[in-house]
Each structure stands twice: as C-alpha cells, then as structure tokens.
Amino acid sequence: MALFIPEWTRASGRQLQLKRVLNALDDATIVRTPLRGEHAAPDLFIEHGERGWLALAVLDTPFDALDARQLFASEARAAFDLRLAAWRTALPAALPLLLVLWACGEEEAAALAGQLDAAGVRLLARERFQECGAPGLAALQQPLAPGEEDALRMRFFPESGIALPTVARKRFQRSNGASLGGLFLDPQQEWASKLDLEMALPAEQAQAAADLTVRLVNGVAGSGKTLIALSRALLLAEMHPRERVLVLIHNTPIVADIGERLHRARGRLPPNLEIATYSAWIHRQWRRLYGAQLAMPADPAHLPHRVASLRARWPELKLREDQLIEEFDFLNEMLLASEAEYMDTSRAGRGFALRAKERRDIWALFEAVTKDLRGEGMRMWSAVAFEVCRAPAHGALERYEHILVDEAQFFAPSWFHTVKLALRPQGRLFLCADPNQGFMKSRMSWRTAGLDVAGRTKKLLRSYRTTQAILHTAGTLLARAVQADPEHDLAPDFTGMEEGAAPILLRVDTPQDAVDRAVNEIVALVHERGVALSSLLVIYGSDTPRQLLYRRLCGALGADRVWWLNKDKKRPPAGYGPAYLRLANLETATGLEGGAVFLLGMESLLAAGSLEAGGAREADARKLYMAMTRASHRLVLLSTEDVPAEALPLFRCEP
C-alpha cells in the first residue's frame, strides 16, 4: 500500500474513491499532498523510486463549461486554460500530469483532450480513471533527472528539506539515488513530521481537533527527531501565520546550537514561531501569572543547608541531603499536594525504596523546607512548574495552537501539565523522545505524565548520525545497566548503516593528563587532518578540570574559536558566522552532535553498568549512551581508570 504524506484519515466521499485507487499502488509508492498553498500546485504527486513521478489534479467542472466548441467562450474554460498553463510552467517538462475529470464522461474527456495541445497532459474521465486503477497510474509515471526532482521538492515540499546544516555525514542513500540525497527527510521522517496535518474537512474540524491532541515520535539517537520537530514547526508557522507555534527543549545549549544553525541556514525565524528552553519559558509564565519577579536561591548550597538544618526535627530520616532533595523534586514534579497523595503514589524505579514512616517524615520535611523558602520569597527550582499549575487563575498564561517538545524524555509530569495548560482549546501537542537517553529520572510511563500516546506513537529506528560501531558500543554498555522494558523498547535498525570503526579508548593517569591528551589529539585533527572546528565536540563530566580544559583549548585553537556552551549560553563568543569547536558539560550535552567527539570524565558512568542495575545506575548508563551517540564517526573516550574488562572489546585501545 502506498505511503500517504500526510496521511488521509478524514477523506471526503470523493477522496475515498480516489484513495481506493491510490491505495492499490505498491509499498514503494509515496502519495504527497502539497500543504503550503503553493501557486500552481496540482492536488498530489505520486513518487516511486524506480518508476518516477506523476502529478495528479482532479477537476469538477462539467464538460459543457469546458467545451471550446460552445457558442460563447466560457469563463470556466478560460480559467481551465490558465490553470493548465500555470501547471505546465511550474512542473518540470518531463513530469506527466494526469487530469481526472470528475464530472465528465469518457467521450467528453476524449473530446476535451482533442482540444488541448499541452504536451505531457493526460485527461481521464472519473470512470476510466477507476477502471485503469493503480496499474494505469504506474504506467504513467516517469523518472525525472535528479536535479529536476530536487527542484520539484524544493518548490512544492521545501519543508521536507533538512532545515539544519549537518555535521553528521549522510548514512543512507535515498532509494531513488537523487543527486542531492541527504538534503531531504526520508519518507518515514517526513510522514512523522506531517502527522495530522492534512486539511480537515470543515464539518470535521471541531471533531478532529478534539481527537488529535497528542503525537509522539520515539526515535533512536540520531534518527532525526530534532529535525522533524523543527521541520514541522516551520511548516506550521508558515501554514498558519496567525497561530502561535512553540518548540520547547529541555537543554539550553541545544537551543543555542539550533539558533546558530538555523541562522546559518535561513536567517530569521517566522515571527509566530518561538524556540525556547523549558526553563526560560516556564519562568516567563510564572512571572506573568504572579506578576512578580521569580526568586530562587542563587547559591547552590542554600537548599542543602536549609535541608540539613531542618531535618534535625526528623532524626530517623537516614537519607542523604541530595537524596532528600531529589525526592522533593519528585514530589513537585508529580504535582503531589498532600501526604495522602504521596502515600498513594508509586515510586517504582526511583532508585531507593522508602518505608511508610520514612515517606511521612519526608513529606513533613518537604513542607517545612517549602514553607521556610517561601518565608524568604523563594522556592525550589522544581516548584516553579508546580506553582504555575497550582496558580489560582491561568488567564495570563501565553497560549499556543501548537506546542512541540523535543527531548520529551526529560520532561517531568508537572512540565507536561504546564504545556497542556498553555495549549489553546483545539491546540496540538507533538512530542519527540528517545527513552534510551533518559526517562523522567525514572521509569515513568507517558500515562503517568497524563499523556495518552497509545496508538499515537511513531518509532524511528535508523540513526543518521552515527556508525554501527559507535551505536553498537553505546547500546551494549546501556544494556548492561538497564532492564528490558517493552513500553520503551527502541532497538536500532542497523540495516544499511555505515559500519565505521569502534570508539577509541585512551587510558590516562590523571584528569589533567586527560585534558592534555585530548587537546593534543584535537590539535592534530585540526592541523594535520584538516578537520573543521565546527565538527568537533568535547563533552566533560564532573571530575574534569573544566577551566583548565577550556583554557588549554583556547590556547591551542584561539580564544574566540572555542564555544563553551555552558559559559556563552545564548550565542557563540564571536557571534554567528565563524566555525567553533563546541565544549559542553555532560549534563547539557543532549541533542548536540559532532563529527568527532571527545569524552572526558566519564569514569563513574562506565563503571555503572558493571554493578547491580538500579535507578541511579540506570540514569548514569543512559547519560553515557547519550554522550557516546553524539558522535558521527569518530568517538574518543579518555579514561583515568581501567574500563571494566567485559567492556574492553567494545573499544580500540590506543596507548
């Protein structure tokens, strides 16, 4: 069966008849409907990897109005001639155009065909069209020259073009082998990006909007989720200039990185499209709702000190302060408003078990800490979304017709709640996630987050970013620490992926040595192998001397050639334009990518899988997986400790 992009789920009577014929085309056929109201667009394009292309338009005008032999020239005929001329000018000369005359008989269609001198145009009455069926359509398709095909896509489906310059090399050939392969989303990606975007029939609009509230794209690392979200957002913003479109991403550096890459590729963004970190966005919403400045402890030690002093009232509580704070975050993120609700809530996958008495003590301490902070006009970070949800009124909240969430695996239930509050009544939510890279700090289901994605999920299993070797190593290390979970299972499809070489492991003595060695390797890649700075990404863990690493990189490459994403949070140091090596903290490296990636300070994460699986270990293993899958073709891991023996064969060890 042909793949319809977008899908035709709400077809009218006529579309159903059309669809019956199109459905019978084989699996390798794509039926695309232009969405952007492009001038001179036919109703649809049929594409097949080998047979080529066919444009198709359906006309309702009755024969009498079109027949040139009528006594008086009709307006309808003049309009038809104009449309035909416009189609022929807009479409490549080699592309056949089929006109289905819905209101004409076979003889009438033949008479009309005799009156036309347009080459490459075929007219068929509806009945004949149905008789000829899919084989008739297949026989009409013609291959286009690769350049023509690309020009056709750029004209009628520019949204399927890859919106961001890539640092990853092309991993798969497009099936039709066109010259600009790699510049367009593949059919599955394009299909996912256009889910539910078909033009609704007016009578069905309200019903459709009520049905279609959420879509989830679950994809392996590098499967194009960010691209899909951006492509959809740009398309929506263009299709609906009066509607507001919001893209939310968890991580600050990736938002800055996307900003820089979109700027390079397209200049300005449409005015009705906003791309923001969740944190920046929710803080703004809080200020709007409460009409006040949002105050949070500036000193990271403030909250642990407060917890340390207040916990004395519950001496039986044995958890460490960081565990208590993590649990408080959980309470806020689950929107728990009372001890009773907490007692009823499942803590499965939280990493440590709690007895009922401990839970009661934790709740009491949580209330005490919250009250204490409130006394100072402050709150925990995790309480911001909670307070937005619990605000007495939500009238001041900014509202959107479309909200797209990338990296949705990092969103907490309270975050999703705020996102849903910000959707207009008929608004739509589109989520992209990779549960392998983390899952709401624990194994929470989408249902727990208030999202019914059953039957509304698309899986993408091919990675365009990385190689088989890198993905295999990352996946094997992850599997050591993570129990199989059918709900979130995403096993990559390696078919057709470049094999590549195993990641390189460099054993060093100290964190300072790791810095020296990484900088030397990078300098050699840049100066001896001509590797572009923009394809280099360095990710460091908490034990790495980061200031030293930054200084050494700046010394070797030039101070304004290193973009430390955690320092220059919004823009690169010398503005958009020049190429930069990117440097990022592990915690904020999600979504980034590099042709060559260096990982420093990952020792504790590597050790994670070799011990008994559990919440914290699982989170660590997911972080390592995320960090490793940032690499497109060269991954270098520097370690001050011996890698667990069973993991060694996954690497190329260099002295």
Cite the annotated binding site for ATP by residue number.
219-226
**CA dihedral of 566, 591, 389, 337, whole degrees rounded to 10:** -90
Considering only residues 463 to 492 of the shown chain, the ones binding ligand ATP according to CB under 6 A are 464-465
Q: Which stretch binds ligand ATP (CB under 6 A): 58-66, 166-174, 507-515, 638-646?
A: 166-174
Q: Which stretch binds ligand ATP (CB under 6 A): 218-226, 318-326, 363-371, 526-534?
A: 218-226
Shortest distance in whole angstroms from residue 435 CB to ligand ATP: 11
**Complete DSSP assignment for 362-407:** HHHHHHHHHHHHHHTT---TTHHHHHHHT-S--TTS--EEEEEEES
**Under the criterion CB under 6 A, does residue 650 sit at the interface with ligand ATP?**
no
**186 or 333: whose CB is closer to ligand ATP?**
186
**491 or 611: whose CB is closer to ligand ATP?**
491
Considering only residues 315 to 354 of the shown chain, the ones binding ligand ATP according to CB under 6 A are none
In the chain, the amino acid numbered 469 is: A
Bridging pattern class, strands 504-507 and 536-540 = unpaired
Q: Which stretch binds ligand ATP (CB under 6 A): 159-167, 193-201, 231-239, 319-327?
A: 159-167
Q: Which stretch binds ligand ATP (CB under 6 A): 50-58, 221-229, 334-342, 603-611?
A: 221-229
**Under the criterion CB under 6 A, does residue 170 sit at the interface with ligand ATP?**
yes
8-state DSSP, 431: E
**Under the criterion CB under 6 A, does residue 438 sit at the interface with ligand ATP?**
no
Shortest distance in whole angstroms from residue 487 CB to ligand ATP: 18
| Helix intervals (H) in 37-170 | 63-66, 75-90, 106-115, 126-140, 146-156
**Under the criterion CB under 6 A, does residue 591 sit at the interface with ligand ATP?**
yes
Q: Which of 51, 225, 244, 402 binds ligand ATP (CB under 6 A)?
A: 225
Report yes or no: 57 and 97 within 8 Å, Cβ to Cβ.
yes
List residues forming the annotated binding site: 219-226
Q: Which of 182, 297, 578, 644 binds ligand ATP (CB under 6 A)?
A: 182
Shortest distance in whole angstroms from residue 171 CB to ligand ATP: 7
Residue owning tokens 């993590």: 326
**Under the criterion CB under 6 A, does residue 573 sit at the interface with ligand ATP?**
no
Residues contacting 272, CB < 8 A, separation 6+:
237, 240, 241, 242, 243, 244, 245
In this structure, the number of other CB atoms found within 10 A of the CB of residue 225 comes to 25
Shortest distance in whole angstroms from residue 593 CB to ligand ATP: 6
Count the site residues for ligand ATP by CB under 6 A. 24
Considering only residues 187 to 206 of the shown chain, the ones binding ligand ATP according to CB under 6 A are 189
Q: Which stretch binds ligand ATP (CB under 6 A): 9-17, 146-154, 182-190, 438-446?
A: 182-190
Size of the chain in residues: 655
**Under the criterion CB under 6 A, does residue 51 sit at the interface with ligand ATP?**
no
Residues contacting 457, CB < 8 A, separation 6+:
215, 216, 217, 218
The continuous run of DSSP H or E covering 319 comes out as none
**Complete DSSP assignment for 563-609:** EETTTS-SS-TT-SSS--EEEEEGGG-TT--EEEEEEES-HHHHHHT
Q: Which stretch binds ligand ATP (CB under 6 A): 133-141, 185-193, 410-418, 508-516?
A: 185-193
**174 or 379: whose CB is closer to ligand ATP?**
174
Describe the crossing of helices 225-239 and 252-266 by its angle, rounded to 10 degrees.
60
If 0-12 CB within 10 Å is exposed, 13-18 middle and 19+ buried, where does residue 347 land? middle
d(CA 8, CA 31): 10
d(CA 216, CA 38): 28
Alpha-carbon distance values, 581 to 272, 549, 627 (Å) = 32, 13, 16
Shortest distance in whole angstroms from residue 244 CB to ligand ATP: 23
**Under the criterion CB under 6 A, does residue 224 sit at the interface with ligand ATP?**
yes
**Under the criterion CB under 6 A, does residue 185 sit at the interface with ligand ATP?**
yes
Q: Which stretch binds ligand ATP (CB under 6 A): 76-84, 162-170, 242-250, 523-531?
A: 162-170
**166 or 332: whose CB is closer to ligand ATP?**
166
The continuous run of DSSP H or E covering 360 comes out as helix 356-375
Considering only residues 605 to 634 of the shown chain, the ones binding ligand ATP according to CB under 6 A are 629
- Closest C-alpha to 498, from 538, 459, 470, 534: 470
- Closest C-alpha to 497, from 472, 534, 531, 474: 472
**170 or 357: whose CB is closer to ligand ATP?**
170
d(CA 372, CA 307): 10
Q: Which of 227, 419, 589, 621 binds ligand ATP (CB under 6 A)?
A: 227
**70 or 173: whose CB is closer to ligand ATP?**
173
Backbone angles phi, psi at 29, to 5 degrees: -95, 140
**589 or 647: whose CB is closer to ligand ATP?**
589
**Under the criterion CB under 6 A, does residue 92 sit at the interface with ligand ATP?**
no
Contact positions toward ligand ATP, by CB under 6 A? 162, 164, 166-168, 170, 182, 185-186, 189, 219, 221-227, 434, 464-465, 591, 593, 629
